[in-house]
Amino acid sequence: MAMADFKSVFPEFEGEDKLIAAAKHISRELSSNKGLTDEARRILINLGTQLSSISLTDETKSEKVCEIKMIENQLDSVEEKVRIWETDQSMIWDSGMDEFDEYLDAAEEARKLTLRLESLSLNQDEGGDEKNELQRKSYDILQTTMDRLEEEFKYILVQSSQPFEPEHMSFRSSEEDTLDESSMNSFGDDSVEESLQRDSLSRISDELIVDLVNPDVIPELRSIVNLMFNSKYDRECIQAYTNVRKDALDECLFILEMEKLSIEDVIRAEWGSLNSKIRRWIRAMKIFVRVYLASEKLLCDQIFGELGSISSVCFVELSKTSMLQLLNFAEAMSIGPQKPEKLIRIIDMYEVLADLIPEIEAFYVEESGSSITMECHEVLSRLGDCVKVTFVEFKNAIASNHSANPISGGGIHPLTRYVMNYLRTLTDYSETLNFLFKNIDEEGDQFTILSPESSPTFREEEKRIRLSPLAQNLMSVSEVLEGNLESRSKLYKDVSLQHFFLMNNIYYMTQKVKGSELRPIFGDGWIRHHNWKFQHHEMDYQRASWGPILSLLKDEGIQNPGSNSVSKIVLKERFRSFYLAFEEIYRTQSAWIIPDAELREDLRISTSLRVIQAYRTFEGRHSTHISDKYIKYNANDLENYLLDLFEGSPKILHCPSRR
Cα gap 588→409, rounded to integer Å = 9
Q: Which residue has the higher pLDDT, 206 or 218?
A: 218
Output the pLDDT for position 339: 84
Residue 229, pLDDT > 70, answer: yes
Instruction: Give the highest mean pLDDT range of 117-131, 179-193, 455-469.
Output: 117-131
Output the pLDDT for position 645: 92
Residue 461, pLDDT > 50, answer: no
Rg (CA), the chain: 48
- Partners of 463 in beta bridges: 449
DSSP string, 272-283: HHHHHHHHHHHH
For range 271-278, the mean pLDDT: 90
For range 94-122, the mean pLDDT: 85
- Is residue 289 very low, low, confident or very high in pLDDT (cuts 50, 70, 90)? very high
Cα gap 48→31, rounded to integer Å = 9
Output the pLDDT for position 465: 59
Output the pLDDT for position 31: 54
Burial of 39 (0-12, 13-18, 19+ CB in 10 A): exposed
Residue type, 623: S
Residue 324, pLDDT > 60, answer: yes
For range 339-366, the mean pLDDT: 92
Burial of 562 (0-12, 13-18, 19+ CB in 10 A): exposed
Output the pLDDT for position 160: 92
Output the pLDDT for position 7: 46
Q: How crowded is residue 144: how many other Cβ atoms within 10 Å of its Cβ?
A: 17
Q: Which of 158, 150, 302 is nearest to 239 (CA)?
A: 150
pLDDT in tens, 148-192: 999 999 999 999 998 887 654 443 333 333 444 344 333 333 333
Question: Which segments of 552-623 does DSSP mark as H helices, in order?
Answer: 568-589, 597-622
Cα gap 81→107, rounded to integer Å = 10
Q: Return the beta strands (E) in 325-480 as ranges.
A: 446-449, 463-466
Question: Which segments of 168-233 does DSSP mark as H helices, in order?
Answer: 181-184, 192-195, 218-230
Output the pLDDT for position 368: 75
Cα–Cα distances (Å) from 200 to 177, 289, 353, in that order, read: 18, 15, 13
Taking the mean position of all CA atoms in its chain, how far away is CA 107?
47
Output the pLDDT for position 430: 93
Contact criterion met (CB below 8 Å) for 567 and 560: yes
Residue 106, pLDDT > 50, answer: yes
Instruction: Give the highest mean pLDDT range of 319-328, 366-375, 465-474, 614-623.
Output: 319-328
Output the pLDDT for position 83: 86
Residue 467, pLDDT > 90, answer: no
For range 267-279, the mean pLDDT: 89
Residue 2, pLDDT > 50, answer: no
Cα gap 334→371, rounded to integer Å = 19
Output the pLDDT for position 626: 80
Residue 463, pLDDT > 50, answer: no
Helix and strand numbers (H, E) in the chain are 24, 2
For range 49-78, the mean pLDDT: 65
pTM: 0.75
- Is residue 50 very low, low, confident or very high in pLDDT (cuts 50, 70, 90)? low
**What is the sign, positive or negative, of the torsion defined by CA atoms of 285, 290, 292, 296?**
positive
Residue 506, pLDDT > 50, answer: yes
Q: Out of 120-124, 363-367, 537-541, pick the least confident.
A: 120-124
For range 423-451, the mean pLDDT: 69
Taking the mean position of all CA atoms in its chain, how far away is CA 8?
96
Output the pLDDT for position 86: 80
Q: Give the β-pairing of 463-466 and 446-449.
A: antiparallel
pLDDT in tens, 566-608: 788 888 888 999 999 999 999 999 999 999 999 999 999 999 9
Contact criterion met (CB below 8 Å) for 485 and 419: no
Cα gap 333→342, rounded to integer Å = 9
- Partners of 559 in beta bridges: 566
Burial of 385 (0-12, 13-18, 19+ CB in 10 A): middle
pLDDT in tens, 390-400: 999 999 999 99
Q: Say how many Å lie between the first and final Cα of the chain, rounded.
A: 173
Could you give the angle at which helices 414-426 and 495-514 cross, rounded to 10 degrees? 20
Cα gap 343→552, rounded to integer Å = 55
Taking the mean position of all CA atoms in its chain, how far away is CA 90?
45
- Partners of 448 in beta bridges: 464
Cα–Cα distances (Å) from 534 to 324, 453, 506, 526, 528, in that order, read: 53, 15, 6, 12, 10
Which residue pairs from 17-23 have beta carbons closer than 8 angstroms and sit at least 24 positions apart in sequence?
17/55, 17/58, 20/51, 20/54, 20/55, 21/55, 23/47, 23/51
- Partners of 456 in beta bridges: none
Residue type, 588: T
Question: Which segments of 160-173 does DSSP mark as H helices, in order?
Answer: none
Helix (H) or strand (E) holding 171: none
Residue 564, pLDDT > 60, answer: yes
Could you give the angle at which helices 635-642 and 568-589 cross, rounded to 10 degrees? 20
Residue 65, pLDDT > 90, answer: no
Q: Which of 517, 520, 512 is nearest to 416 (CA)?
A: 512
Output the pLDDT for position 337: 81
Q: Return the beta strands (E) in 301-367 as ranges.
A: none
* Average pLDDT of the chain, as a whole number: 81
Output the pLDDT for position 63: 65
Q: Out of 216-220, 424-428, 625-629, pick the least confident.
A: 625-629
- Is residue 62 very low, low, confident or very high in pLDDT (cuts 50, 70, 90)? low
Cα–Cα distances (Å) from 263 to 5, 213, 319, 384, in that order, read: 101, 34, 21, 18
Cα–Cα distances (Å) from 216 to 157, 237, 311, 520, in that order, read: 12, 20, 20, 57
Q: Out of 105-119, 194-208, 213-227, pick the least confident.
A: 194-208
Output the pLDDT for position 361: 92
Residue type, 538: E
SS3 143: helix
Q: How crowded is residue 587: how many other Cβ atoms within 10 Å of its Cβ?
A: 13
Q: Which residue has the higher pLDDT, 433 or 267?
A: 433
Q: How crowded is residue 164: how many other Cβ atoms within 10 Å of its Cβ?
A: 19
SS3 209: coil
Q: Which of 231, 74, 75 is nearest to 150 (CA)?
A: 231
Q: In the chain, what percentage of residues exceed pLDDT 90? A: 51
Instruction: Give the highest mean pLDDT range of 44-53, 453-462, 551-560.
Output: 551-560
Cα gap 450→179, rounded to integer Å = 29
Q: Out of 313-322, 445-454, 544-553, pick the least confident.
A: 445-454
Output the pLDDT for position 4: 46
Query: Which residues, at least 6 apart from 531, have a Cβ–Cβ distance to it below 8 Å?
Result: 452, 510
- Partners of 447 in beta bridges: 465
Residue 378, pLDDT > 60, answer: yes
Output the pLDDT for position 441: 40
Which DSSP category does 491 fall into?
A: T
Residue 403, pLDDT > 90, answer: no
Cα gap 525→519, rounded to integer Å = 10
Output the pLDDT for position 126: 47
Output the pLDDT for position 259: 87
Output the pLDDT for position 627: 79
pLDDT in tens, 634-646: 899 999 999 999 9
